[in-house]
Amino acid sequence: MTTPFPFTAVVGQDDLRLALLLNAVSPQVGGVLVRGEKGTAKSTAVRALSALLPAVDVVSGCRFSCDPGSPDPACPDGPHEAGAGESRPARMVELPVGASEDRLVGALDIERALAEGVKAFEPGLLADAHRGILYVDEVNLLHDHLVDLLLDAAAMGASYVEREGVSVRHAARFLLVGTMNPEEGELRPQLLDRFGLTVEVAASREPDQRVEVVRRRLAYDDDPAGFAARWAGEESAVRARIVAARELLPSVRLGDGALRQIAATCAAFEVDGMRADIVMARTATALAAWAGRTDVLAEDVRQAALLALPHRRRRNPFDAPGLDEDRLDETLEEFGGPGEDGGEDDDPDPGPDGDPDPGPDGGPGGQPAPGEGPRGDGDTAARPEAGEDGEPQAGPGAGEQSAVRAAEPFRTKVLHVPGIGQGAAGRRSRARTEQGRTTGARRPRGALTALHLAATVRAAAPHQRARGRSGPGLVVRRDDLRQATREGRESNLVLFVVDASGSMAARQRMSAVKGAVMSLLLDAYQRRDKVGLVTFRGSAAEVALPPTSSVDAAAARLESLPTGGRTPLAAGLLTAHDVLRVERLRDPARRPLVVVVTDGRATGGPEPVALAGRAARMFAADPVASVVVDCESGPVRLGLAGQLAGELGGTAVTLDELRADSIAGLVRDVQGTSRRAA
């Protein structure tokens, strides 16, 4: 067995170590999500924690780790009689990102089914992790169907398996620990909320500390056992402190004053639901027990907030994580005296100047330009010299408007690439995958990679008499084997083609356009897409951002995007077509989705409308999935964006319809469904 790196030998990372230890003291805290860049000892610290956990008493021979003091009456290996069992170390079970559903929840025991003809359940990782740690490295890359199963088990403390003729329920209470690199995509909010605590980690910028990290790592690699022996004393001390804190935990008193501070803090940071309050209370209690106290103090509440709230507070997309500590201190000071049991503030009146600061959203960064016309045709309050088409003249410095801040991002409708692909794992479009949800069975073409047991048994069953089988068991031949067909989700290349010409330069309109694109970027970030940005204005188009996985870079380029000049729509489409051609050579399996953000106008140069139409029809000939976000506004609309969408072979949505909660979009979807049904 490999000797783990000692927990107490980890350099720095105080918050990470504290969060893990609090969960060791009180597993009801609910686990830890560790976010940070690669190479910051995330996995090392988590694996080292298991060696510090106290041993677990289990029923001898029970595959589901039942407690001999109170065995699960519904255990599949039961019933068990209460009594003596055996002691074993607490387990840390790792869930690989590419694990199958069978491996996670368990499945029919194939060996016994074929040899004995009986239906027997083979436990999965959820059963192995019961009363231990379930560790998911790169949890943000986990397939959605596995995330759903984890959510169910974490919420109910049990796993329910209904598949392949097997119906099993078993306990599955575990400490969920996940690590992730935020640059590779975000977690679904439902799973994010299931983690009790979150910690942001980063490599130290102190040379002395970095030297010590390297020194200890090299010493461990040279002699793991010897290195661990040198830290055995510190490990034993921490292990004993965990045991003492667990024994003290039931005696810790959470007074009304601390509860009031917890409730006020959660309300001040606008967290959803009540789970944050409960987690904060459990964390503060565990902090007091870890410190050897029986009373929860204000300092415990403060530390609990810093660990339990950053991933639950409402914040704008692309904001930096963390809490406003000044605001936190003000809230704790206002509600309840520190460390007092009575819970009543000596001076409940904060005074006339006690109102909180309106915050960063208290006022706009700049005043909107007055004089926006109802036509939405690009008229601005400070309009430069115009050309023959009514748009500002192109040229260096001529007709260029300063960058406009994006409007508040919103949750967008999900845009999909039609059909079924085979690209990299993600969360956008349907795809054939090796680890997705089983959707059917087929005869294998080539090597068998995923056996569909139920379909194989059904194929073999009618031939048993002819094959001379009369007793238990099953004779299976190669022709009976069936390959499981699975379907999951893939990530795509989302290429934004943004019109930055004068017709889009009205400040309010461009702010709304940037807000819409920012919202789509956030959606792409959460679905693990690659993104690219092409802009066109004046007389040409440019690749503002080549396809990349860094959505933050795309957001930064968008924020600084200037506007003005004519509308070279054809140049924008041709540039986008070239970007897709190069990307197709680099990554042929990743399907693209082109999002054209424009009002549909085409100006400048000879026959701009005809040229734009020919460029659009190139996409339809490939074909490439496309969506046109119609930015035209005002009472009189030309419908040019809709015509462009038709030439692209795609669909058009307005800025309002792009919102997930848009009534107009819902009506349009219902009408489309009705027409298809008719």
Write out the catalytic residue numbers.
275
Per the CB < 8 A criterion, the answer to whether 290 and 327 are in contact is no
Q: Is omega for the bond preceding 79 within 30 degrees of 0, making it cis?
A: yes
Outline where DSSP puts E strands in 51-151: 56-58, 86-88, 92-94, 106-108, 121-123, 133-137
CB atoms within 10 A of CB 348: 9
Instruction: Using the structure block, give the residue that is written with the tokens 């001999």.
Output: 68
Q: Is omega for the bond preceding 623 within 30 degrees of 0, making it cis?
A: yes
- Give how far Cα 644 sits from Cα of 373, 571, 600, 610, 656, Å: 25, 14, 6, 11, 19
The H-or-E segment that residue 547 falls in is strand 540-548
Residue 165, class by beta-carbon neighbours within 10 Å (0-12 exposed, 13-18 middle, 19+ buried)?
exposed
- HSE-CB for 251 with a 13 A CA cutoff: 10
Looking at the DSSP assignment, which residues form a beta bridge with residue 498?
A: 535, 597
> What are the two backbone dihedrals, phi and then psi, of residue 116, each rounded to the nearest 5 degrees?
-115, -10
User: What Rg do the C-alpha atoms of the chain give, in angstroms?
Assistant: 30
Residue 108, class by beta-carbon neighbours within 10 Å (0-12 exposed, 13-18 middle, 19+ buried)?
buried
How far is C-alpha 665 from the geometric centre of its chain's CA atoms? 26
Indicate the DSSP class of residue 186. P
> What are the two backbone dihedrals, phi and then psi, of residue 384, each rounded to the nearest 5 degrees?
-75, 180
∠ Cα 594 98 168 (to 5°): 120
- Give how far Cα 582 sits from Cα of 492, 577, 586, Å: 15, 9, 7
- The amino acid occupying position 64 is F
Any residues with CB less than 8 A from the CB of 215 and at least 6 apart, and which? none
Indicate the DSSP class of residue 52. G
> What are the two backbone dihedrals, phi and then psi, of residue 31, each rounded to the nearest 5 degrees?
95, 180
Any residues with CB less than 8 A from the CB of 156 and at least 6 apart, and which? none
No. of helices (H) and no. of strands (E), the chain:
21, 19
Q: What SS3 state is found at 356? A: coil
Integer Cα distance of 420 and 550 in angstroms? 25
Q: What SS3 state is found at 437? A: strand
- The amino acid occupying position 675 is R
